[in-house]
Chains A and B, each alone.
Chain A
């Protein structure tokens, strides 16, 4: 209920609601953007655009169609994909081959303090390779169920049930 009220306030143009929404989602959205672009300053730029868009388009968000989180997830993924397909980004010659979110977790886990590293390591350890692929495509890259099935050469129903198992495991690590 609280969440719904917050979104309703945002839709009315309430700046404090916007700030709260930013607190709740910005780090995650930043992670999504960074997983796609792999460029910190570009990610900052896109993150700002995404939240400005959230502010502007909030009135057009319709809860009947889907979750608010899903809505902003789509904005962020689309903005990031637009960016990496753009000329000026391609000119940077970034290596985007088969990287997925797990690389970022591993890199961070190697760099960061022990406590953080343990937290990050648990994601890496707990997720099977298939889970890593599924979550990367479905969540981080915004593939549809069908696209994922084709990409991983997996029956449509299997995508759904395998992913369910993966998320369950993930949830087990979340307090």
Chain B
């Protein structure tokens, strides 16, 4: 007992609590402490006073910080010192990532718009091509049809030469007696003035009797300028006159553009 009090009085216990002893000295004190309750009691008193002294130097009681600490306790125990250092960076990385993401979205959005525009342009172009192809096919069919008609063995070609009013004018009549059709190729006729129309006449010669077989309607719009007319007359010749829109009952001879006779073979 006497020895123990002596031991306590050396001041070794204070140094022990501070952690100011060497490792072996500390281990010795720990052993003594286990053995003597008085020593333990003494150490606890020293601790108590030091706890109070150091608590007095705290700027405030940090009791609320336990909540922060507890959040970090579960799950991440081993990596806490590392995550703490990283924790400053993580939000920046987060922001940077979302910024990049937004920029990416914007770029993609723009590109998507561009692509959509060009898709629309291509679609329009495509539609145009399709209609051109359809037109071409139509024209081809028409041409074939036309060719077939002109090759018909019953066709009689009747050249219609330019007359006084229009010496340069020229037309060709294809006269088919069998199917009562006559085709006029008016490629070399000048365009009729506005409000006027060409009228085609079937002619009988002795005496000269003109019979209207039709108008060259929509002259400007017709591409190949070949007109199909019904003609059930026994024609000996054809004449084309310029008449007021709608045509006339009898030809205006002053406006006779072309004229030709069916050569009797």
Show the binding face of A for B, using Cβ within 8 Å.
Answer: 3, 15, 18-19, 22-32, 34-35, 40, 43-45, 47-49, 51-53, 55-56, 63-67, 69-70, 73-74, 101, 104-105, 108, 119-120, 123, 135, 138-140, 142-145, 148, 160-164, 167, 170-171, 174
Contact = CB atoms under 8 A, between A and B. Distances in A.
B58 A28 contact: yes
Contact of A170 (B53, B68, B84): B53
A161 B10 contact: yes
A26 B47 contact: no
Interface residues of B, number: 51
B18 A139 contact: yes
Given A49-B81, A53-B81, A35 B57 contact: yes
B14 A167 contact: yes
Contacts of A23: 63
Given A31-B54, A64-B30, A161-B11, A26 B65 contact: yes
A44 B65 contact: yes
Contacts of B44: 3
Contacts of A140: 54, 57
Given A48-B65, A52-B73, A167-B46, 17 more contacts: A26-B63, A27-B54, A27-B58, A29-B54, A44-B65, A48-B68, A49-B81, A49-B84, A52-B77, A52-B80, A52-B84, A64-B30, A66-B30, A67-B16, A73-B19, A145-B20, A167-B49
* Main DSSP-derived SS at the A contact region: helix
23 contacts: A15-B70, A18-B70, A18-B73, A19-B70, A26-B63, A27-B58, A28-B55, A34-B58, A48-B68, A52-B80, A53-B80, A56-B78, A63-B30, A64-B30, A66-B29, A67-B17, A74-B19, A101-B53, A104-B57, A105-B57, A120-B56, A145-B21, A171-B49
B18 A40 contact: no
B30 A139 contact: no
A160 to B, nearest CB: 4
